[in-house]
Amino acid sequence: MILEEMTMTQVEAGLVTCRTVYIPFGALEEHGSHLPLSTDTIQAYEVGKRAAERIPLFVAPPIHYGNCRSTNQHPGTISISTTTLRSLLKDLVRSFYGQGFRNVIVLTGHAGGAHRMALQDAGEELLPELPELRIAVVTEYELAKEQGRGLVETPNDAHAGEIETSRIMHSHPQLVQGSSPAEYPSFPTGILVRDKRRYWPGGVWGDPSKATPEKGAKLEELVVAKVVELVKVLEEGRYV
């Protein structure tokens, strides 16, 4: 059930049998010279739509902005503060809860540490406030890292490399603009630097040349299956 395409009567009818909503978070962030700025958003939204084909699930419109620190000097990256991000999720969940939703899956395609922690903090703060709420905050990487290990050839692939290039080659091949050289950032350990692009000029963390659409399809399937499983776990109330 894709919420942005539904009428109010369809939502009302859907809530009779399903009270779970999937909220995809992404970012407007550089992904090398070959992938679109919306790469993280595309991945998270596609997973939700595929999961909703297999199990009753409301899929909310994606959030296109996130907190981006290490890439904030690369062209096209637009970042919001962790305070804004945390408040945004809390407001959304409160509103969904008021509409009758009780289970929330927050899946973020952007896996920056501060970004992820802000979403997790928001979820933790909501638990004592909303007594019937069940919420999961996960990244795509978490859901696919074990089963996907054998598919990925590049060690420590993380951003705009083999994994993400494969995913976009599969779902949105028309948005892939060639490739970018393999690269890893060289930030000094523990030191916060002003000129971040100096230590990560190309904005790639991994090797895009290893990407294929076939790998992308398999990786997407792994994440979709994990989301379906997560929906069932939340609806069963297995964890409180």
Q: What percent of the chain has pLDDT over 70?
A: 100
- pTM value is 0.94
What pLDDT score does 147 carry? 78
pLDDT digits (tens, 9 = 90+) for 20-31: 999 999 999 999
pLDDT digits (tens, 9 = 90+) for 72-128: 999 999 999 999 999 999 999 999 999 999 999 999 999 999 999 999 999 999 999
Average pLDDT of the residues of the chain: 95
**Over residues 163-171, mean pLDDT:** 97
HEC string for the chain: CEHHHCCHHHHHHHCCCCCEEEEEECCECCECECECCCHHHHHHHHHHHHHHCCCCCEECCCECCECCCCCCCCCCCEECCHHHHHHHHHHHHHHHHHCCCCEEEEEECCCCHHHHHHHHHHHHHHCCCCCCCEEEEEEHHHHHCCCCCCCCCCCCCCECCHHHHHHHHHHCHHHCCCCCCCECCCCCCCCCCCCHHHHCCCCCEECHHHCCHHHHHHHHHHHHHHHHHHHHHHHHCCCC
From the list 39, 14, 10, 53, the residue with the least C-alpha distance to 176 is 39
**Over residues 50-72, mean pLDDT:** 97
CATH label of the domain that carries residue 200: 3.40.50.10310
What pLDDT score does 140 carry? 87
The answer to whether position 128 is within a domain reads yes
Number of domains composing the chain: 1
The answer to whether position 237 is within a domain reads no
Q: Which domain holds residue 120?
A: 3-232
pLDDT category at 146 given cuts 50, 70, 90 is: confident
The answer to whether position 238 is within a domain reads no
pLDDT digits (tens, 9 = 90+) for 177-210: 999 999 999 999 999 999 999 999 999 999 999 9
pLDDT at 10 over 80: yes
**In DSSP terms, which residues pair with 136 in a beta bridge?**
105
pLDDT at 142 over 90: no
**Over residues 7-18, mean pLDDT:** 97
Contacts of 223 (CB under 8 A, 6+ apart): 47, 140, 143, 144
pLDDT digits (tens, 9 = 90+) for 226-237: 999 999 999 988
Q: At what angle do helices 162-171 and 213-236 cross, to 10 degrees?
A: 90
pLDDT at 239 over 80: no
